[in-house]
Amino acid sequence: MKTYRNADLHCHSVVSDGTLTPEQLATRAHANGVELWALTDHDEVGGQQRAQAAARAQGMGYLTGVEISVTFIGQTVHIVGLGFDANNPGLVQGLHATRGGRKQRAMEMSEGLAKVGIQGAYEGALPYVGNPELISRTHFARFLVESGVCKDTSEVFRKYLTEGKPGYVPHRWATLKDAVTWIAGAGGVAVIAHPARYKFTPNEEYALFTEFKAHGGRGVEVITGSHSEAEYAVYAQAAQEYGLVASRGSDFHSPDESHTELGTLPLLPAGLPTVWDLLADRIQ
């Protein structure tokens, strides 16, 4: 079995809310020393063929990828799927349904922003949208930065796009069970994305991990652009305690916005079982 050290199994292209094409990402990943790559667009597998072909052209290993939006105990949780069949009808239909409410939500976000004096945010966000089914908060954030309302996207999220703020619209995504079942049903492995980002109590986090496992989830991101060094250790231990394999991914979105570059995070701690060993026979 080939051993991969520099695996980056989480990033976004123009097919969701990234700013680079799958080909540009593959070139950048390879230039940064990535040996095994996965493109994980939000709720969408439309970029998978291009990503796989681009990875092959660069001589990198590839795993199919997706990041599914889930609602769990009132919060949005992201579940990454890796190594699945991107043409599996159950997965494709489930993702289509998950994308379904985004346009309506975006129009409501725009109404909320209009109430605090920011007019035309929906129309303003549209030119940033690469996939008409996937308008996201990130596209609104880019518009508000470009139009001078905020200095960067983090400020937009802090002031306008997070819970309780004028452009925030609560949304019901897929269930945890559905997301895990779609991924596993398509032959892939489900992974809890950036667990430290959620604001769960210890009991709620325990419920997330145990229910995730009960539904067939197998992995957790340990090294991600969303975690601090202390959190790497916390979730390395959680992986062992819950019997999950570990994953690593930058969550890169854009050269201008992302603070974490493709393929440059610390490697997984030695001795942790990895998601790519579990998926060795799905690597393309």
The label of the residue with tokens 């094409």 reads 21
Task: Draw the binding track, 210-249, toward ligand AMP (x: CB under 6 A; -: no contact).
Answer: ----------------------------------------
Contacts of 272 (CB under 8 A, 6+ apart): 222, 236, 239, 240, 245, 246
CB of 283 to ligand AMP, least distance (A): 25
Cα angle at 172 between 167 and 174, to 5 degrees? 135
CB of 17 to ligand AMP, least distance (A): 5
Which one, 4 or 72, has the nearer CB to ligand AMP? 72
Interacting residue with ligand AMP among 19, 138, 247, 250 (CB under 6 A): 138
Stretch that binds ligand AMP, among 82-90, 151-159, 181-189, 268-276 (CB under 6 A): 151-159
CB of 137 to Mn ion, least distance (A): 8
Interacting residue with ligand AMP among 84, 128, 157, 209 (CB under 6 A): 157
Which one, 4 or 252, has the nearer CB to ligand AMP? 252
Interacting residue with ligand AMP among 129, 180, 253, 268 (CB under 6 A): 253
Q: 3-state SS string over 216-237?
A: CCCEEEEEECCCCHHHHHHHHH
- Maximum alpha-carbon separation in the chain: 58
Stretch that binds ligand AMP, among 116-124, 153-161, 183-191, 272-280 (CB under 6 A): 153-161
CB of 106 to ligand AMP, least distance (A): 8
Beta pairing partners, 69: 78
Whole-number Å distance between alpha carbons of 154 and 177: 31
Which one, 48 or 136, has the nearer CB to ligand AMP? 136
With binding defined as CB under 6 A, does residue 194 bind ligand AMP?
no
With binding defined as CB under 6 A, does residue 69 bind ligand AMP?
yes
Whole-number Å distance between alpha carbons of 175 and 58: 36
With binding defined as CB under 6 A, does residue 19 bind ligand AMP?
no
Asked if residue 249 lies in contact with residue 221, where contact means CB atoms within 8 angstroms, the answer is: yes
Which one, 155 or 277, has the nearer CB to ligand AMP? 155
Whole-number Å distance between alpha carbons of 167 and 219: 33
As a whole number of Å, the CA-based R_g of the chain is 18
Which residues from 24-43 bind ligand AMP, rule CB under 6 A?
A: 42
Asked if residue 40 lies in contact with residue 65, where contact means CB atoms within 8 angstroms, the answer is: yes
Whole-number Å distance between alpha carbons of 218 and 245: 6
CB of 269 to ligand AMP, least distance (A): 26
Asked if residue 174 lies in contact with residue 68, where contact means CB atoms within 8 angstroms, the answer is: yes
Binding site for ligand AMP (CB under 6 A): 17, 42, 69, 136-138, 153-154, 157, 253
